[in-house]
Structure 1
Amino acid sequence: MNQAFPDEGNRVEIYTNGYAKLQALLRELKKARHHIHMEYYLIEDDATGRLVRDVLIEKAKEGVEVRFIYDDVGCWTLKKAFTRKMRDAGIEVQAFLEVRFPLFTSKVNYRNHRKIVVIDGHIGFVGGMNLAERYVHGLSWGIWRDTHILLEGKAVHGLQTAFLLDWYVVSHTLITSSEYFPSVKRCGNALVQIVTSDPVGRWKEIMQGIILAISG
């Protein structure tokens, strides 16, 4: 599928509680020594968004490379001051496919809903939870139910590849150094395949993968 191969020997933690996921993310971000790559559809200027942003700023000041992609439509209401503070600290920040009035094109709906985190090339996060209070504490009508995973092992290289391809799209900078794909020891028993999908092309890779898995 998608030229993505399954990798053995991974460790997976599943989160369905937003607070637990946030605490795990903050814990792993604080351990970063070389780089942090983050890509989110949505980050809000609220307690959760500022908490994550401030940890990234702290790590950047320590000398850790930090790159952050946000979706321009998902973060439509995010003030420039929020990302300016990140850039001033040395974080590389890019918006995915910026939308500018009145220059709409057929690609205006090509939005990036990915939620990817890669830390030092061997810890990753992926799933459905954005960086906002409602994913942590819910809304007036109840808890926001979603799923996220922490991934440790060689399969993180698949997340890294997905991020770096998107980074090339938004920054026109190609990053291929082996330091972003370090040797990873077996750390669990999970077989993991990272499959990506996009609006271009006839094949719906993720849907096909689910159908194949169900059919056996």
Structure 2
Amino acid sequence: MKTKAFAAISLATLLSPAILAFGQASADAIKPVDSTADFSVIAKDPTDPTDPSGSLVLKSVPSFSFGEVKSSEIFSGFANKAATNDSTLEIDDNRLGTSDWSLTATMGAFSDGSSTTLSSDSALKFTTTGTLGETVDANIKGDGSSASIATGNAKHGNDVFAIKGTDTKLDMGANASAVLTKGQQFTSTINWNLSSTQPVASAAN
């Protein structure tokens, strides 16, 4: 943000001591005069006015890996299997006006991308706290239902959620009829949706 300030010396300081010594200056001539200093708000540098109203951006979303899972665990189901990696969720809100964003996520069933799809009775859970203070206690189910992840707390700026693998857990329901092979890999896609009641703030004058 660039600012401009204006300052002025009062007329009293422009009168020389010699003039005052002769007593020729009137009271009005040495009366102080007020000046002003001001600035206007912009969302971005005017040399780069791509989005003059600021922006709300989902800068990065996490991916999760849970390593190797025994076939017996897939058949009978498992709970609270920790992720093997740390990940990051990052939201940037530099809009004018109110910061009122909301983040949700959906997840489908795990599949090998070919012939085997596991039970949708699964859940991805993680906890974290953003750098702007939001607390997250996520529970994303594998049935495609929408899960609330985080809500803005009226603070602007770059909000980073560091998600530790030890704080990320996967639950999986029983898959007694699954046909499994050694080295088979299962993945699920997580869709993240960042929304706001005011996607574009009013531009500053």
> The TM-score by the shorter chain falls in which range?
under 0.3
**Relative to total residues, which structure has the larger strand share, 1 or 2?**
2
Q: Which has the larger radius of gyration?
A: 2
**TM-score relative to the length of structure 1:** 0.19
Higher helix share: 1
